[in-house]
Amino acid sequence: MTEEELKEMVLSNGTIPRHIAIIMDGNGRWAELRNKPRVFGHQHGMHAVRAVVEGCRELGCEALTLYAFSEENWKRPRGEISVLMKLLRNYIRRERENLRENGIRLQCLGRLEKIDPAPRKALEEACLYTADQTDMVLNLAISYGSRSEIVDATRSLCREAAAGRLEAEDIDEETISNALYTAGLPDPDLLIRTSGEMRISNFLLWQIAYTEIYITAVLWPDFAKKNLFEAVVDFQKRDRRFGRVKSKS
């Protein structure tokens, strides 16, 4: 099936995921298969980033969250980290106008204070530049770890309690959701991981409690809009019960 046919199928099937989250994996292996350095894979991964942003916007998704750089990724060689930061900065520089024109609000999730001033400034400015857009949210998870996110949320709730603005008994699931970096967004309906790895890798642990998971062997630099639409077609076949029994038709 062509990309257009798949898109038509997705749109006519009905349920479009409100929020898609993606673990972009396999850049290094993609480069190794071509006898190139790992960073070559990251560079090519940028095509896939553009394709999924465009694809999600075409489908009318409310949010797309991309795992761009984990807290654990700080342990990678300095050269690789610096290429990844440069790619992020270039992406922001080149795409911020395009994001705004397409109604997309950019948001960064993670401990941004660890990022060097130049890429951090570029990210913060692009978030401000697109802050009034309302058609879709693009979350870039950078210097992100889900356990750290939960730690940060817990600290902010403790501060509220210490200041007398919050009672322990008033804390419920919504209170916690609203204290996370993803506050205000629906939980992901679909989580895609490329390169065949069967792991969550400290990504959105709280938010994916009822998310449908789709794992593909495709390596991230090869992931095209067509692959995104295939994942959504698969998602549309799932029977989501959220712990209840199957509803009778």
* Count of CB atoms situated within 10 Å of the CB of 108: 22
Residue 25 lies near ligand FPP (rule: CB under 6 A): yes
Which residue in the shown chain puts its C-beta closest to ligand FPP? 28
Residue 27 lies near ligand FPP (rule: CB under 6 A): yes
Identify the residue among 6, 16, 39, 49 touching ligand FPP (CB under 6 A): 49
Nearest residue (CB) to ligand FPP, 101 versus 170: 101
Size of interface with ligand FPP, in residues (CB under 6 A): 20
Helices (H), the chain: 3-13, 27-32, 38-59, 78-101, 117-129, 146-162, 173-179, 225-236
Residue 26 lies near ligand FPP (rule: CB under 6 A): yes
Burial of 249: CB neighbours in 10 Å, binned 0-12, 13-18, 19+: exposed
> For residues 133-162, which are near ligand FPP according to CB under 6 A?
140
Any catalytic annotation for residue 227? no
Identify the residue among 10, 20, 22, 24 touching ligand FPP (CB under 6 A): 24
Could you tell me which residues are beta bridge partners of residue 65?
A: 21, 139
Provide CB contacts within 8 A for 33, sequence distance 6+.
none
**If you ran DSSP here, which 8-state letter would residue 209 be given?**
T
Residue 192 lies near ligand FPP (rule: CB under 6 A): no
Residue 86 lies near ligand FPP (rule: CB under 6 A): no
**β-pair type (63-70, 104-109):** unpaired
Q: How far apart are CA 244 and CA 227, in angstroms?
A: 30
| The one catalytic residue among 73, 90, 102, 202 | 73
Q: Which residues bind ligand FPP (CB under 6 A)?
A: 24-29, 38, 42, 45-46, 49, 66, 68, 73, 84, 87-88, 91, 140, 195
